[in-house]
Amino acid sequence: MRPDRAARRELRRAISEAEGREQMLGTIDMSNGDQIQISLFRERGRPVILSIWLLHRFVDGTLHPDNHRGLRFFLSEVPTLARAVAKALEEGPCFARETESG
């Protein structure tokens, strides 16, 4: 293998490790074309986080993250988040009916 090719391969590997690893868990397509992405993310030397991020769809169809509309949770915080979401799923329909009737 040529030295320049090996150097490029090593540089790509180093950049990938420095940027971290991501595992996409799911997406929510919004009615306005935007998307919410939910993923696990880990930067080198840091703990795993759950990332929930809003992405805007540009005219050309590409998605771009909104730098001000995202949430990150340490894994130790996820059970509390899950309980709150489960409660919203249970109580949401009743709350909607109550608030519709005035």
Q: Which CATH number fits the domain that encloses residue 72? A: 3.10.450.700
Report the pLDDT value the prediction gives residue 18, as an integer from 0 to 100. Answer: 64
- The whole-number pLDDT of residue 77 equals 97
What are the helix (H) ranges across the chain? 3-19, 78-100
Give domain status of residue 67, yes or no: yes
Instruction: Name residues of the chain where pLDDT drops below 70.
Output: 1-2, 14-18, 102
Q: Confirm whether 72 is domain-assigned.
A: yes
Tell me whether residue 4 is in a domain: no
pTM: 0.71
Provide the domain count of the chain.
Answer: 1
65 backbone dihedrals φ, ψ, rounded to 5°: -65, 145
CB 41 within 8 A of CB 20: yes
- Asked if residue 3 is part of any domain, the answer here is no
* Six-digit token string for 100: 């519709």
